[in-house]
């Protein structure tokens, strides 16, 4: 049977559903008492909510003398914080007076800073040439004392005062590649060419094979002018390089290279031209 307008929450609809069934079963009881239970729960929750809202008002109206605990805020007038006393302030120590410099032997005259301005705006004239002949230019005027003692800073340390200043004291004794004054053979390059013509022994195998060209050698000219580390950079073979090494090993000492006024080690590259005389 179909009841389109029947209220599904009514008792009649519930009886129709459970008609012929065990109504003692829990589902029937729950459905039957559902509306009553919901209304009861809503009433209890509403009562608790209203009581919680009215509790502060009831307390203040009917219990005005109830004791309450309050904490003082740090910004309130009655809040006191005990602070340790600050450390004592040390009295300001006066700056020590600057030591007066002794007067120089020669007077000093102030030289104003040069600034380009119009002639009518010049406030200070520079000292004349006659004044500068008697005094040194300075940032201020100082009267000299011709009788002042001359102080010369003496060298300190335990080294020899008369030791010769050379480049050999450096930790890195790498020879120079370029110097102010290049080393040279005594008498110059022309004298060296004459030395080669007179002392170079042309190897027989080189003569037989008609070898000619340039043998390039590299060596180090030491501080005393001796030649060390002689090597052949370019060799024509047939003993030409070995003979060139022998020639330079027997060479007299050269004039050493000069850097900063002192003899230094210098790497030197030297080409020697070889040709068989016809």
In the DSSP assignment, the letter for residue 113 is: P
Please give the average per-residue pLDDT across 198-203, as a whole number.
Answer: 87
Q: Of all residues in the chain, what percent carry a pLDDT higher than 90?
A: 18
Residues 127 and 240: their CA atoms lie apart, in Å, by 74
Residue of higher predicted confidence among 56 and 165: 56
Hey, is 54 helix, strand or coil? helix
In the DSSP assignment, the letter for residue 142 is: B
pTM recorded for the entire structure? 0.41
Most confident of 24-38, 97-111, 171-185: 171-185
In the DSSP assignment, the letter for residue 255 is: B
Say how many CA atoms lie within 13 Å of 78 toward its Cβ.
4
Residues 228 and 175: their CA atoms lie apart, in Å, by 11
Residues 217 and 242: their CA atoms lie apart, in Å, by 10
Q: Mean pLDDT in the chain? A: 79
Per mean pLDDT, which range of 102-106, 134-138, 248-252 is the poorest? 102-106
Q: What is the pLDDT of residue 224?
A: 92
Please give the average per-residue pLDDT across 176-193, as a whole number.
Answer: 90
Residue in this structure with the two tokens 């580390």, named with its chain if needed: 229
pLDDT tens across 29-70, in order?
767 777 788 888 889 998 888 888 888 877 777 776 554 445
**CATH assignment of 174-274?**
3.30.2420
Q: Is the pLDDT of residue 143 over 90?
A: no
Q: Is the pLDDT of residue 163 over 80?
A: no
Residues 69 and 194: their CA atoms lie apart, in Å, by 121
Q: What is the pLDDT of residue 72?
A: 52
Hey, is 259 helix, strand or coil? strand
**Beta-strand runs (E) in 13-169:** 108-110, 136-138
Structural domain boundaries of the chain?
102-115+125-146, 174-274
Both tokens assigned to 255: 């004039």
Residue of higher predicted confidence among 174 and 7: 174
- Whether the CB-CB separation of 124 and 141 falls below 8 Å is answered with no
Q: What is the pLDDT of residue 69?
A: 46
């Amino acid at each position: 049977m179909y009841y389109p307008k029947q209220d599904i929450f009514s008792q009649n609809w519930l009886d129709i559903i459970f008609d012929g069934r065990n109504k003692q079963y829990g589902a029937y009881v729950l459905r039957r008492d559902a509306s009553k239970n919901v209304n009861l729960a809503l009433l209890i929750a509403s009562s608790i909510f209203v009581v919680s809202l009215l509790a502060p008002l009831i307390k203040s109206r009917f219990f005005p003398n109830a004791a309450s605990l309050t904490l003082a805020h740090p910004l309130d007038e009655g809040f006191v914080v005990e602070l340790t006393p600050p450390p004592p302030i040390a009295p300001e120590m006066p700056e020590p007076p600057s030591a007066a410099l002794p007067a120089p032997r020669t007077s000093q005259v102030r030289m104003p800073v040069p600034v380009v301005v119009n002639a009518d705006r010049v406030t200070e004239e520079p000292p004349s040439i006659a004044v500068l002949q008697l005094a040194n230019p300075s940032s201020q005027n100082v009267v000299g004392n011709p009788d002042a003692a001359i102080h010369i800073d003496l060298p300190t340390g335990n080294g020899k005062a008369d030791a010769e200043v050379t480049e050999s004291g450096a930790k890195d004794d790498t020879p120079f590649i370029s110097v102010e004054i290049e080393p040279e053979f005594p008498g110059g390059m022309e004298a060296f060419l004459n030395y080669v013509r007179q002392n170079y022994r042309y190897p027989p195998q080189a003569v037989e094979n008609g070898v000619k060209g340039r043998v390039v050698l590299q060596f180090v000219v030491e501080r005393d002018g001796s030649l060390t580390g002689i090597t052949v950079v370019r060799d024509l073979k047939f003993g030409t390089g070995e003979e060139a090494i022998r020639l330079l090993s027997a060479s007299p000492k050269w004039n050493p290279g000069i850097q900063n006024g002192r003899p230094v080690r210098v790497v030197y590259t030297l080409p020697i031209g070889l040709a068989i005389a016809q």
